[in-house]
Structure 1
Amino acid sequence: MNQTIDKDYKKKDSSNTIKVMEEKKEVEALLEQVVALEKEQIALTMLKEKVQIEKDAYYSRYVNAVKSFQHEKKRSITLMEENKKLKSKLHNMNSSKAWKLIREYWRFKTEFIQGNWKLKIKYLKSLKSKKQVVQSVNKFDVSLQEFLKKIKRSSSDQVVFMFSGTTYIQDFKGNRPIRITKELVKKNIPVFFSYFRWNKEDNIPSYSGDLLFQSPIDLTIEKMKQIIDFDFGNKRKIFIISFPHISCARLVNVLKSKGWLTIYDVRDEWEEFHKVGQAKWFDINVEKYIVNHADIVCAVSKPLREKMQQYTNRKLINLSPNALDSILLPTNQGFTRRKKSSEKIVGYIGHLTEAWFDWEAIIEIAKLEKEWKFEIVGHSLPKNMNLPPNIAYLGPKKPSEFIEISKKWTTAIIPFRISKLADGVDPIKVYEYLALGLPVVSFRMPQIHDYPYVYIANSTKEFRSKIKQTFTVKMDEKKVIEFLMKNRWEDRADEIIAWGKEEKKNDFSFIGG
């Protein structure tokens, strides 16, 4: 019995020992956790202290930076004011007669007295040129005054300022601003026509005392205040912006305050021209500003109208396509005036730059169709063009010369590269081609897709196929004339005259449709 009791005690002792050891291990584990937590606490405290030190350092740097910035800002403002004053003084100095005399004396001394014979001759020529420019400007001032007074005395109840951005009016060029101007003058409406020139020494078209006055853009801007402030009596004053120049954005509200009706005539896809290296002056923000602040906005094509409409909710954008000179409308002889020819002659007239004329497509087609002849009329032919024998470049031609040349053509083409640039175009040439009794083949150009006898292609292969198709087309003269009679330049001029007679509305009114 005693042995049994001993065994039980031994079992209990063993069990208690194991339990004690387990508890001891748990206590030791807890102690280790406590130690680890204390270490973490110490580390966090140290990190907090370090972060606070860095925070204080950053804050100190921030305060110093703010103080420095404020100091530099004040210094910058002071320097800008000083710079402005110095620029003003420098401008006054450069403009002074004394400084001009000193500069002229220096040129005289270095070029004429000390220079070789080439420099002496150059100096004498420059004196002659300066004299001519001064005389030209003086003559311009006199002519401008004469023109303004003539307008006031004229029987017309309107006056138009055409800010064209094109060349001066001439036979070789016949773009939209020039055509509309000619029609307005025919209707006895005086027009101040501002054109673009690259060289200030270029001759200015002389004023002959009629209803048209032409002014280069540099002199236009210089004389702008004088023109828009002039008292024209009760005449309606219309200012047509034909390209979105920065000066027009600056002036549009001033013009309106002076009683001018402002019209932005969107005749080209300027943004896309800018992207292909043309219209380098273009700024989309300037165009958007003009669209929103002009009284009336019109566009030559549906895609352009839709684009301009995205810029504004203040007004509805008008559609005002290009048109035809009435002199080209078919006469009683109709299309019979065309010369009969067994040759298949495909013709084109217009600008020839590679930026939008698809030379690759035309050359490829010409090589495949050696029996066809291509006649190209226009300017800006790319250099080093290697044309196949059946493509003839005829150079620029006057309208009368072009009409005679086109009498032998079978088909007319508009091979503009498919692009957003072409999508915005309503080519004047399509109206002229149709008036001459020519079916037209064009690459994609949404505005003209529904025009009569215009065949649209979306690839070079399709372009070639469409040309073949036109060789057997018999055009309905009545259908063509009906279309053209609704699209004459005189109709576009009448639109402007009608807008000029409307009561001016505020910026938020809807105009046109």
Structure 2
Amino acid sequence: MENHDFIITSLQSWDIEIGSTIKNTTLEISKANRVLYVNPPLDHMTWFRGEETKSYKRRMEVIEKRVPPLRRINSNLWVVDCPFMVYSINRLPFNWLFDLFNYINNKKIADQILKSAQELGFNNYIHLIDTDIYRSQYLKELIKPSLSIYYCRDFVIGRDYWKKNGTRLEPLLAAKSDMVLVNSTYFAKRFKEYNPNTYPIETGVNLSLYDITQQWAIPEDIQQIPYPIIGYTGSINSVRLDSDLLFKLAQQRPDYSFVFVGPEDNVFSQHPLHQLKNVYFLGKKKIDLLPAYIMAFDVCINPQLLNEITDGNYPLKIDEYLAMGKPTVATQTHTMNDIFREYTFLPHNETEYLKALDSAVSEIKDEQKKEARIAFAHTHSWENSVKKIYQLINKFV
């Protein structure tokens, strides 16, 4: 697919400081098509709290008219920041009141989208909604795209913030979209109840970054850690990761070093894991340094809790681990079993985890399995992921 216009609305800011599925998807689409990426507008509650993030500072600069709303990222890609704030509405007590103010917010966003689209000369655009349940709820009616696609890649309505209004509104948004894309067959089963034009697609991995052929220097803060190293990269979040399981594993395998690279939430930062001599928390790192850490690991892990948020989620980090050739142990979720079972160890409990870790350590020098992991990860490139989106669009049209 070439020379089409796309408008993308998302929960994630373009200026997010961690890896992002939607950013990589957007960049891939922009290689052959024009794209307008709409940054989520600042709401009054976030403005009141204030933040030190790059995204917050950028939006404030636009609101204060110190920089223009529209900026160009590459020859085919623009990002627009809304030069206004929207109402904070999630705590409103009545559905009708929430819907009223949500429509007002949607209308302001739609007007900015139409203004930017006109400025760029966008026509017959395809609208891709990246799990933006509230702010994109009425955009199909307001901006009138040639095709409206709802893309669900996470079970956001399982979180407290979304449970009241998101549970009610996501089925409505999916039903009125022309097409629904999801990143697992687990999600596909649920969304087919709302929209028969629902299709699972697999996301991708940044193969130019996670490139095992490059020369990766071992980071200084991991050089003195004893081997074998059992490693994890990413957000260390107690909603997704099983802290108590990790504590038991580290106790049972004192000869293994357990290394975590990423920001911790409050549960993990205060957990007894920090008291174990074979557990190391190295903190948040820049994205372009993560492959060097993965290369320094002997085995990679993703010890997720099994819940409604994780069971159908597509764990992008697994592709990153496999692209670097690493033996990988991860909790057996629906998606892990559906997609990655031939290339990873998928335990259910502590006993199975211990056996899986030992088996993974025994595969550290197995070059044949290493090459198979790398080859499999390369089938999950962003190019292949976006090609599937194009094929589904063409099929639908």
- Bucket of the pairwise TM-score, normalised by the shorter protein: 0.7 to 0.9
In 1, the alpha carbon distance for the partners of 2:360 and 2:35 equals: 44
Give the Å deviation of 1:379: 1.8
Contact persistence 2:326–2:370 (CA under 8 A): no
After superposition, the Cα gap between the structure-2 partners of 1:416 and 1:304, relative to the gap in structure 1 and judged at 3 Å, is: same
After superposition, the Cα gap between the structure-2 partners of 1:159 and 1:218, relative to the gap in structure 1 and judged at 3 Å, is: farther
1:247 and 2:131 are equivalent in the alignment: no
Q: Deviations over 1:43-66 (max 9, x none)?
A: xxxxxxxxxxxxxxxxxxxxxxxx
Look up the SS of the partner of 1:263 in the other structure: strand
Mapping of 1:192-271 within 5 angstroms? 192-195=37-40, 197=42, 198-199=46-47, 202-204=56-58, 208-210=71-73, 211-215=77-81, 218=85, 221=106, 222-228=108-114, 230-231=117-118, 235-255=123-143, 258-271=144-157
Q: Deviations over 1:238-272 (max 9, x none)?
A: 211111423322233444xx233111111011232
Of 361-370 and 443-452, the range deviating more from structure 2: 443-452
1:432 and 2:277 are equivalent in the alignment: no
1:396 and 2:295 are equivalent in the alignment: no
Size of the aligned set, in residue pairs, is: 341
In 2, the alpha carbon distance for the partners of 1:392 and 1:430 equals: 21
In 2, the alpha carbon distance for the partners of 1:282 and 1:413 equals: 34
2:36 pairs, out of 174, 181, 191, with 191
Give the Å deviation of 1:347: 0.6
Q: Who is 1:454 aligned against?
A: 344
Look up the SS of the partner of 1:376 in the other structure: strand
In 1, the alpha carbon distance for the partners of 2:354 and 2:161 equals: 29
After superposition, the Cα gap between the structure-2 partners of 1:472 and 1:214, relative to the gap in structure 1 and judged at 3 Å, is: farther
Contact persistence 1:301–1:425 (CA under 8 A): yes
Of 197-206 and 245-254, the range deviating more from structure 2: 197-206
1:479 and 2:360 are equivalent in the alignment: no
Amino acid at match of 1:195: P
Percent sequence identity over matched residues? 18
**Which of these two proteins has the greater Rg computed from alpha carbons?**
1
After superposition, the Cα gap between the structure-2 partners of 1:433 and 1:212, relative to the gap in structure 1 and judged at 3 Å, is: same
Structure 2: runs of 5+ lacking an equivalent: 51-55, 60-66, 87-104
Q: Who is 2:381 aligned against?
A: 488
Q: Deviations over 1:321-347 (max 9, x none)?
A: 221112145455799x99999711011
2:300 pairs, out of 394, 412, 421, with 412
Q: Scaled by the length of structure 1, what TM-score is found?
A: 0.60
1:179 and 2:63 are equivalent in the alignment: no
Amino acid at match of 1:347: G
Of 376-385 and 348-357, the range deviating more from structure 2: 376-385
2:3 pairs, out of 135, 157, 166, with 157
1:443 pairs, out of 331, 345, 348, with 331
Give the Å deviation of 1:496: 3.6
Amino acid at match of 1:182: L
Contact persistence 2:311–2:333 (CA under 8 A): yes
After superposition, the Cα gap between the structure-2 partners of 1:189 and 1:403, relative to the gap in structure 1 and judged at 3 Å, is: same
Amino acid at match of 1:199: W
In 2, the alpha carbon distance for the partners of 1:496 and 1:426 equals: 16
Q: Who is 2:236 aligned against?
A: 352
In 2, the alpha carbon distance for the partners of 1:468 and 1:195 equals: 45
Of 467-476 and 377-386, the range deviating more from structure 2: 377-386
Look up the SS of the partner of 1:471 in the other structure: helix
Contact persistence 2:300–2:329 (CA under 8 A): yes
Look up the SS of the partner of 2:291 in the other structure: helix
Look up the SS of the partner of 1:241 in the other structure: strand
After superposition, the Cα gap between the structure-2 partners of 1:364 and 1:288, relative to the gap in structure 1 and judged at 3 Å, is: same
Look up the SS of the partner of 1:298 in the other structure: strand
Look up the SS of the partner of 2:380 in the other structure: coil
Contact persistence 1:269–1:425 (CA under 8 A): yes
Amino acid at match of 2:177: A
Q: Deviations over 1:15-36 (max 9, x none)?
A: xxxxxxxxxxxxxxxxxxxxxx
Q: Deviations over 1:335-364 (max 9, x none)?
A: 9x9999971101111222222210000011
Look up the SS of the partner of 1:407 in the other structure: helix
Q: Scaled by the length of structure 2, what TM-score is found?
A: 0.76
Q: Who is 2:191 aligned against?
A: 308
Q: Who is 2:173 aligned against?
A: 290
Give the Å deviation of 1:461: 1.8
After superposition, the Cα gap between the structure-2 partners of 1:334 and 1:400, relative to the gap in structure 1 and judged at 3 Å, is: closer
Contact persistence 1:164–1:194 (CA under 8 A): yes
After superposition, the Cα gap between the structure-2 partners of 1:218 and 1:467, relative to the gap in structure 1 and judged at 3 Å, is: farther
Contact persistence 2:320–2:377 (CA under 8 A): no
Contact persistence 2:178–2:197 (CA under 8 A): no
Of 493-502 and 457-466, the range deviating more from structure 2: 493-502
In 2, the alpha carbon distance for the partners of 1:462 and 1:319 equals: 30
After superposition, the Cα gap between the structure-2 partners of 1:469 and 1:366, relative to the gap in structure 1 and judged at 3 Å, is: same
Mapping of 1:301-340 within 5 angstroms? 301-312=184-195, 315-328=196-209, 330=211
Look up the SS of the partner of 1:454 in the other structure: coil
After superposition, the Cα gap between the structure-2 partners of 1:352 and 1:282, relative to the gap in structure 1 and judged at 3 Å, is: farther
Q: Deviations over 1:439-479 (max 9, x none)?
A: 11111212122424211111122112111110112253443
Give the Å deviation of 1:278: 4.9
Higher helix share: 1
In 2, the alpha carbon distance for the partners of 1:245 and 1:472 equals: 45
